[in-house]
Amino acid sequence: MHLSKFGIFKTRAPKGFEFNPRYYNERKDRIDKLEKKFRAEKERSKNDSSHSTRLKDEMNAQWGREHVSRQGKFARQRLLIILAVLGLALVYMYFKLDSSF
């Protein structure tokens, strides 16, 4: 008499796995659609490389100019504020030390 006939030591087949999502992520779906759209557009633009190269160059030039002008403006403002604070600190120390002697 074999024990395997009774099924005591038989290994079972693995259970299947089925995933049904409970929630629909609208944002993820929208992002995936946009991604597919832009990838397709990118593939089309590879064929017309002169147009895309020109657009890239124009955008880089424009963004570079805006970035430099904003940086310069903020640098000047920051310098003026630092100088004003230092000037006020020196005036305060001058009068404070002058009155103590």
Instruction: Render pLDDT for 86-95 as a digit per residue (tens, 0 to 9).
Output: 999 999 998 8
For the segment 35-77, what is each residue's pLDDT rounded down to a tens digit?
998 888 877 776 666 666 777 777 777 776 666 666 777 888 8
Which residue stretches of 9-48 are H helix?
26-47
Cα separation, 41 vs 45, in Å, equals 6
For the segment 13-24, what is each residue's pLDDT rounded down to a tens digit?
888 888 777 788
**pLDDT of 6 higher than 70:** no
Cα separation, 9 vs 24, in Å, equals 43
Q: For the CA atoms of the chain, what is the radius of gyration?
A: 36
Which residue stretches of the chain are H helix?
26-47, 49-100
Cα separation, 57 vs 24, in Å, equals 40
